[in-house]
Structure 1
Amino acid sequence: MQFPFLGRGWSFPPTFDRNISGVEMLEEASDIASSLEILLSTLQGERVMLPQYGCNLDELLFEGLDTRMKTLLADKIESAVLYHEPRIELENVILSENDDLEGVVTISIDYRVKTTNSRFNLVFPYYLQEGTDVNLSATLNLLPDNS
């Protein structure tokens, strides 16, 4: 590790590798990027020991995408990063408007790692994923028979 003070953590979701006899680890800038993705996709209260950790973006999922909602979305991200990611300095949060009619908002986060002064950009797609492996006949077979 070139910059051990930037941290080292498990990959998420955790993956195990027989060659290294354990969990794959992320280090330095990739650990920070992974931490940001986890922060943005976690609901507050979801972590038992850290109830304030998270961003609560899911509560805005079906709201209309007007200026007020975009401002609220950016503010939630800025606040979460400010309180829960001390290794970086947030420079900019940009919400793309290219796919907003398709229900996709692309969040671009520009940040600077405080200790190395390196700049990075994280692009986080914000949308509801469809269930693609849904088997309706198997689901109907699981329903109780009321006859």
Structure 2
Amino acid sequence: MKINTDFLGIGWSFPPEFNKAEGGVTMTTDVEDINNSLLILLSTRPGERVMFPNYGCDLQEMLFKPLELTLITQMKGIIERAILYHEPRINIISIEIDTTEELEGQVLIHIDYEVRNTNTRSNVVFPFYKGEATAI
């Protein structure tokens, strides 16, 4: 029995790619579309989208704060809230923040989730860079 996944939608690939042969935009579906949506959500600041001023996850505010347990817990809460409000296709299983590369300026955000209608489990890793723009 094939599970209907039409409700997951179709979206532009991220970053956007154009297909010259077919004359259109490359599209993504199913879990790949959800992963792209999560990456966009985590990298968008609230207020960046004019028509959706509440869309986004304000991780940039925490960029230069000391990475302690309080901040990690606050980051998890912000991420969880953003996903809860803006990605209705999934249930969060866990959010883990990997700080092993902190001294190199990178924090990895691991999000394990379950697609609601299909009970398919998947994950996405978002690299949050803390480095300064010194190579300009």
1:96 is aligned to 98
How far apart in 2 are the matches of 1:3 and 1:75? 29
Q: Give the aligned partner of residue 44 of structure 1.
A: 46
In structure 2, the residue corresponding to 1:40 is in which secondary structure?
A: helix
Identity of aligned residues (%): 50
* Alignment match of 1:63 (pick from 53, 61, 65): 65
Q: Summarize the Cα distance change of 1:70–1:8 in structure 2 as closer, same or farther, 3 Å threshold.
A: same
Structure 1 position 24 matched with structure 2 position 13: no
Partner residue of 1:13 out of 12, 15, 18:
15
Deviation at 1:95, TM superposition (A): 0.6
Given the alignment, which residue of 2, 5, 12 partners 1:3? 5
Residue in 2 that maps onto 1:106: 108
- C-alpha deviations, 1:86-128, integer Å up to 9, x for none? 0000110001121123221111000000011000011111114
Q: Which has the higher strand share?
A: 2
* Structure 1, gaps ≥5 residues long: 135-147
Contact in 1 for aligned 2:113/2:123 (Cα 8 Å): yes
Which one has the largest radius of gyration? 1
**Displacement of 1:12:** 2.1
Q: 1:60 to 1:133 in 2, by over 3 A?
A: closer
Q: Which has the higher contact order (CA 8 A, sep 6+)?
A: 2
- 2:76 paired residue among 71, 74, 84: 74
- Local SS of the residue matching 2:114: strand
Range 125-134 or range 17-26, more displaced: 125-134
1:131 positional shift? 5.0
Q: How far apart are 1:24 and its partner, in Å? A: 0.5
Task: Name the CA distance, whole Å, in 2 between partners of 1:11 and 1:130.
Answer: 28
TM-score, L = length of structure 1: 0.85
Q: CA RMSD in A?
A: 1.6
Indicate if the aligned counterparts of 2:94 and 2:112 stay in contact, CA closer than 8 A: yes
Residue 57 of structure 2: SS of its match in structure 1? coil
1:4-49 residue CA offsets vs partner (Å, 9 max, x unmatched): 2111011122211112210000111100000000000000000000
Q: Number of residue pairs matched?
A: 133
Q: Which amino acid aligns with 2:28?
A: L
